[in-house]
Structure 1
Amino acid sequence: MDSTKAIDKPAAARDAVIRTAPRRRGADAYDTLLWRLQPRLEEVREQNDGAGFLVGITSCDRKAGVSTVAANLAIRAADHQMRPVLLIDASAEHPTVARQFRLRGVQGLADVMAGHCSVSDAVHETTVDGLEVMPVGTTGLMDRVGLDCQHVEALLSGLRESHQMVVFDLPLTSELRHMLLIARRLDAAILAVSHEQTSATLLERAAEQLRSDGVPLAGTVVCRHKQRVPSWIRNRF
């Protein structure tokens, strides 16, 4: 084969290869969320000379699917070549990333914030091409860490330089506490809402609280949607 011809493929053909993403069950919803974030992502890159995009997922209800949304959004971003992507577990009271990616006992965000390890030591590879994760880290350490604004700013600036997208699995809106230092510096925050469980009043209060705290709320995503029509009927139409 002529190697010159292989290199000189038309741009459209090259883009078609680059943008082909793996098919994953249930990926459509996360792809939609990703595309809706795209305008903000492009704006951030233009304003910050190609810097990475920081997005956080939170909720006002427990078991609303925050960790599911955060993990799948990060996976689909990696699938769509927004690499490298980093998923960070910032929910110290209910951590899930270490379990999801079988990384128990490793260093993570708390260890970085406490100065016990470098960022590179707290970032771990996964089996998903282009996706890395940073779990919470040492159990109980986050509650003892005195977070410093300059330290947080330096951390996030470094992550913007090293990753195209960083997804934070955040605590509940009522439990953000010191994680507000991170949440305020995000480019976008998403509220995960449990279908038929999160009341409109609670959602409105949570949204208003985030805005008053200076968190850039971009919108909501409905999780755990219940199908009212039996599957055997849906499959016939």
Structure 2
Amino acid sequence: MRFFTKKKKKLSNDSMENGVHMIAAADPSSVISEQFKTIRTNIQFSNADKTYKSLMMTSSFASEGKSTVAANLAVTFANQGLKTLLVDADMRRPTINATFSIANPKGLTNYLTDRDFDINEAIYETSTDNLYVMPSGPVPPNPAELLNSKRMDVLIDSLEKQLDLVIYDAPPVLSVTDAQVLSTKVDGTILVVRQNVAEKEAVRRTVELLRHVKANIVGVLLNDTEISGGNGYYGYYGYGYYGKNEKKS
């Protein structure tokens, strides 16, 4: 039985090798950075009864821009004065090392596999005030099991007590089970969908899998959209936010 009809493409390693584009830090007054500020506001007001302390970014498949969105949103929240931590929970295809120029970093897997490890050794300051990052660390053989461990629960609880917001950059939902596991532990999940790349059936299946584990889907971010009236540059990096109450297609 076939669910998805597009041919399998070779995954790009560009973001792993060169990092993601941090426009919210490089040009905070740009049109694109303003879009991220709008997304931040929509997230903050999506639930009047609760302040999100932890958010997970994921997608259906790789190369939809989830790591770019996660990093730029983290900068945007930090610029608002919130003590923000960006955690690279994509242990198979990490990007934080390259994005923030951290060589041979210790990170999340070090803490999850070594009971004597000091978590402070895995948290790095950045050039952006209030923004800290936690790399994924060495690639483990069992990422999903580590994310589903009691030690991960303890870490999430501890980080939420020490910080204003923790953003987890998780693997794609349809590739591995990691994102489903992590979605049950955080306050909210945001699905990044890249226009003209994501397949409708794949997105529907992703939402089904997240709902199956009772993940709190805060909204869907449509990435790489054309901005009306914009030039080519801004059109390439357009972002839109769609909340839980949007009509299904």
- Decide which moves more: 192-201 or 218-227: 218-227
- Decide which moves more: 155-164 or 196-205: 196-205
TM-score for the superposition, normalised by structure 1: 0.78
Residue 86 of structure 1: aligned partner = 85
Offset at 1:199? 2.0
Other structure's SS at 1:57 match: strand
RMSD, aligned α-carbons = 2.5
Residue 109 of structure 1: aligned partner = 108
Residue 38 of structure 2: aligned partner = 32
| Residue ranges of structure 1 left out of the alignment (5+ in a row) | 1-21, 46-51
Q: Confirm or deny: 8 A CA contact 2:67 2:169 kept in the other structure.
A: yes
Q: Confirm or deny: 8 A CA contact 1:60 1:173 kept in the other structure.
A: yes
Offset at 1:143? 2.8
Describe the superposition over 1:95-116 as per-residue Cα deviations: whole angstroms up to 9, x where unpaired: 1011000012010011111126
Alignment-mate amino acid for residue 23 of structure 1:
P
Other structure's SS at 2:40 match: helix
Alignment-mate amino acid for residue 134 of structure 2:
M
Q: Confirm or deny: 8 A CA contact 2:173 2:206 kept in the other structure.
A: yes
User: Which whole-Å CA distance do the structure 2 matches of 1:144 and 1:74 have between them?
Assistant: 23
Residue 218 of structure 2: aligned partner = 218
TM-score for the superposition, normalised by structure 2: 0.74
Other structure's SS at 2:63 match: coil
Alignment-mate amino acid for residue 36 of structure 1:
N
User: Which whole-Å CA distance do the structure 2 matches of 1:55 and 1:156 have between them?
Assistant: 11
Q: Confirm or deny: 8 A CA contact 1:56 1:189 kept in the other structure.
A: yes
Alignment of 1:49-60 (within 5 A): 53-60=53-60
Give the alignment partner of residue 23 of structure 1, picking from 28, 50, 57.
Answer: 28
Q: Confirm or deny: 8 A CA contact 2:46 2:218 kept in the other structure.
A: no
CA distance change for structure 1 residues 122 and 230 in 2, over 3 Å: closer, same or farther?
Answer: closer
Describe the superposition over 1:19-57 as per-residue Cα deviations: whole angstroms up to 9, x where unpaired: xxx834321221111111113576334xxxxxx710011
Q: Confirm or deny: 8 A CA contact 2:144 2:181 kept in the other structure.
A: no
Other structure's SS at 1:211 match: helix
Describe the superposition over 1:141-178 as per-residue Cα deviations: whole angstroms up to 9, x where unpaired: 26378535421221111000111000111100023424
CA distance change for structure 1 residues 230 and 66 in 2, over 3 Å: closer, same or farther?
Answer: closer
Q: Name the structure where helix makes up a greater proportion of residues.
A: 1
Residue 198 of structure 2: aligned partner = 198
User: Which whole-Å CA distance do the structure 2 matches of 1:127 and 1:168 have between them?
Assistant: 19
User: Which whole-Å CA distance do the structure 2 matches of 1:146 and 1:103 have between them?
Assistant: 26
Offset at 1:202? 1.4
User: Which whole-Å CA distance do the structure 2 matches of 1:141 and 1:75 have between them?
Assistant: 28
CA distance change for structure 1 residues 132 and 172 in 2, over 3 Å: closer, same or farther?
Answer: same
Tell me how many residue pairs correspond in the alignment: 204
1:165 aligns with 2:171: no
Offset at 1:135? 0.6
Larger Rg: 1
1:175 aligns with 2:181: no
